[in-house]
Amino acid sequence: MGIIHAKMDSNFKKNIKIGTRKSPLALWQAEDVAKSLKSAGYNTELVLFETIGDVKMDTNIAKIGSKGIFTAELETALRQDSIDIAVHSAKDMPSEDSPELKILAFTERESAHDVLISHQPLQISSENIVRASWQIGTSSTRRVAQLRHWWPNVRTAPMRGNLQTRIRKMKEGQCDALMLAYAGVHRLGLDDMIVMHCPTDTFTPAAGQGSMAIQIAKTMPQSLQNALKNILNHPETELLVAAERFFLSRMNAGCSMPVFINVEVKEGSSICLMRGGVSALDGQKYIAEEIICSKERILQNADILATGILNKGGRTILKEIKERINS
C-alpha cells in the first residue's frame, strides 16, 4: 500500500511502511521509530533493503562514492511510493536533498562521540596510546585520518560490515580494537566492550552522528507530514544537525570524506560550541577550528566556520583527496 491520500482525523489509523537496511543496528533504529508511531496509534510495517554500501563489502567506501551509498535504494522506494518513510543514520545522509524527497525529522540525538571497543582488556592512558602499536579497525576515512594525526604509532585496518561482523573479525585477530560511534554500540547493548570514550575536541564526529533521519517523499499529504513530524522530530537535534549538514554542504564534501563537525549546546543555555575541520588522509595536514555562537545564529556561524577552514587550506586538502581517490 502506498501513501493514502485521505483527510486525517483523530480516529484515523494508517499503516506506515518503514524502509530500513537489514543490519541489526538499522533494524533497531527502525523498530525504535515504529515503537514511537505505534504509541501514537499508527500501525507499522518494516520493509527491508540492501544498499550498495551493504553489497560492495570488499570496496573502500570512498572508492564507491560519497553520495547515497547507504541510502539510494530506500530513496528509490520512496519515489516509487512503495514505502512511506525511510529511517537512516543521519550521518549517512548526503548533505543535499533529492528534489523529490525531504528529511521530515531528526530523532533525539544520542551522544555523538566515538568509542574504542575491544574483546580484550586494553590499558588506556594518554601515555600508552602514544607508545601503542595497536591495530584499530575502522571503515571511516575520517577516523583513519584522525588516528594518524593524533596517534601516529597506531596502525589501522580496513573493517567493513555490520557491527557484529566487525566484532567477529576483531576476535579473529584482524585488529585489537574497533573505533565506532557510541550511539550504535550503546543501542545494541555493547557498552561493556567499551575501553575508551574518545573526546570530541580531538576525535570530532561526522555530521549528524548519533541521530536518526526520517526521510519522506514530498508528495506525502501535509496533514500526515505534520502528524509524523510532531511524533518523531526533536527540535533541538534538528537545529544542531541542520547546522552540521550545512557546514558539510559548504565544504562540498560527502560523508566518506575526512571532514568532521559537531555542534553542542552548553547545558542550561542557548550558547552553542561548534567544532569542525578537515584532514588529509595521512593526518599530516589537519585544520580544525571552533566557534562559540548563539542558537539564533547557528547557520550563519556554520557558514563562517566552513569558509574559514576552506580558506586556511581546507580547499587544497579536499582537492588533493578527490584527485587521489579518482586516480
Range of the domain at 70: 15-108+211-233
Strand 271-279 vs strand 259-265: parallel, antiparallel, or unpaired? antiparallel
Q: Is 119 within the bounds of a domain?
A: yes
Same domain membership, residue 279 and residue 229? no
Same domain membership, residue 276 and residue 149? no
For 313, which DSSP code?
I
160-180 pLDDT, tens per residue? 889 999 999 999 999 999 999
Same domain membership, residue 189 and residue 160? yes
Q: Which residues does 16 contact at the CB level (< 8 Å), separation at least 6?
A: 34, 37, 42, 43, 44, 45, 84, 85, 228
| CATH number of the domain to which 267 belongs | 3.30.160.40
For 69, which DSSP code?
T
Q: Is 240 within the bounds of a domain?
A: no
Q: DSSP secondary structure string, 149-176? A: HH-TT-EEEE--S-HHHHHHHIIIII-S
Residue 3's CB is within 10 A of a number of other CB atoms, namely: 19
The pLDDT of residue 68 is 61
- Please state, in angstroms and rounded to a whole number, the distance separating the CA atoms of residues 88 and 214: 7
| pLDDT for 57 beyond 60 | no
Same domain membership, residue 102 and residue 25? yes
The pLDDT of residue 50 is 81
Same domain membership, residue 219 and residue 99? yes
Q: Is 204 within the bounds of a domain?
A: no
**282 counts as catalytic:** no
Q: Is 238 within the bounds of a domain?
A: no
Same domain membership, residue 262 and residue 315? yes
Residue 111, classified by CB atoms within 10 Å of its CB into exposed (0-12), middle (13-18) or buried (19+), is: middle
Q: Is 8 within the bounds of a domain?
A: no
- State the total domains in the chain: 3
Angle ∠(244,86,55) on CA atoms, nearest 5: 90
Taking a C-beta distance cutoff of 8 angstroms, is the pair 293, 237 a contact?
no
Q: Which one of 54, 58, 84, 92 is the catalytic residue?
A: 92
User: Of 14-23, 124-133, 246-255, 277-286, where does mean pLDDT reach its minimum?
Assistant: 124-133
Same domain membership, residue 163 and residue 38? no
Angle ∠(85,91,93) on CA atoms, nearest 5: 50
269 versus 147: the higher-pLDDT residue is 147
Q: Is 2 within the bounds of a domain?
A: no
Same domain membership, residue 101 and residue 26? yes
The pLDDT of residue 256 is 79
User: Of 14-28, 113-127, 228-242, 245-259, where does mean pLDDT reach its minimum?
Assistant: 113-127
Same domain membership, residue 128 and residue 49? no
284-306 pLDDT, tens per residue? 999 999 999 999 999 999 999 99
Same domain membership, residue 292 and residue 176? no
Same domain membership, residue 22 and residue 99? yes
189-226 pLDDT, tens per residue? 999 999 999 999 999 999 999 999 999 999 999 999 99
Q: Is 202 within the bounds of a domain?
A: no
Q: Is 5 within the bounds of a domain?
A: no
| CATH number of the domain to which 79 belongs | 3.40.190.10
The pLDDT of residue 268 is 79
Which stretch of DSSP H or E encloses residue 66? none
